[in-house]
Chain A
Amino acid sequence: GQQVMQIPQYQHVQEGEDFTTYCNSSTTLSNIQWYKQRPGGHPVFLIQLVKSGEVKKQKRLTFQFGEAKKNSSLHITATQTTDVGTYFCAGSGFQGAQKLVFGQGTRLTINP
């Protein structure tokens, strides 16, 4: 089926350390989105990447879309306790469909 694989499933870091989560699809995506879900909350949109090789930054967050449009990453520099939550990637364009399929998410916990 249409799947977006995300690793790692869990990541625990010390405050101030960097964090990266990776997303892979077996098929080419038309675009990829990233969401953050705080504990007890609902997913909130972070960013959308559309172009091959695209890199976007939001303060300490850097998002990349691979050249083949099959993988993506989110990197957080110098984590802070406010970064705690689960980060999801979501891809669309499987077989031309517009539906958005989510990865399993990476749960980030931080030791202050």
Chain B
Amino acid sequence: GAGVSQSPSNKVTEKGKDVELRCDPISGHTALYWYRQSLGQGLEFLIYFQGNSAPDKSGLPSDRFSAERTGGSVSTLTIQRTQQEDSAVYLCASSPYRGRTGELFFGEGSRLTVL
């Protein structure tokens, strides 16, 4: 595709349920980021994948959050036992890393609402 694709665009779930959010990065981009943005707030770093290196998971807020990136391409962010405070827009971005952090291309985001 031409850009970063995220699905679902909207997800409403009940407290305690698990959710999976998917990100399809731009082909050839080796770096992939997940951020969380609450209404009217900034971008909270969650996790960063770069090539075959171990991911930087330092931003994951709790052990209910996990992410994987299969084959260096598609990534899935999983939130287990969702809580109301998990409600936010989850943004994925990919980047053509060339020796240093490069420009990030963002998807449209997945809006998660936990009832």
Contacts and interface: CB of A to CB of B under 8 A. Distances in A.
A79 to B, nearest CB: 21
Contacts of B41: 104
A102 B56 contact: no
A100 to B, nearest CB: 6
A35 B33 CA distance: 15
Contacts of A42: 91, 106-109
A59 interface: no
A84 interface: no
A102 B106 contact: no
A100 B45 contact: yes
A48 B98 CA distance: 14
A50 B97 CA distance: 15
B105 A30 contact: no
Given A99-B56, A100-B45, A43 B104 contact: yes
A58 to B, nearest CB: 14
Interface string B17-49: 000000000000001010100001111110010
Contacts, number: 65
A97 to B, nearest CB: 6
B103 interface: yes
B50 interface: yes
B52 interface: no
Contact of B45 (A93, A99, A107): A99
B70 interface: no
A92 interface: yes
Interface in A49-104: 50, 88, 90, 92-93, 97-104
24 contacts: A30-B101, A33-B101, A33-B103, A43-B43, A43-B91, A43-B104, A43-B106, A45-B103, A45-B104, A45-B105, A50-B100, A92-B101, A93-B101, A98-B50, A98-B56, A98-B97, A98-B101, A99-B59, A100-B104, A101-B45, A102-B35, A102-B43, A104-B42, A107-B40
Interface of B: 31, 33, 35, 40-45, 48, 50, 56, 58-59, 91, 93, 97, 100-109
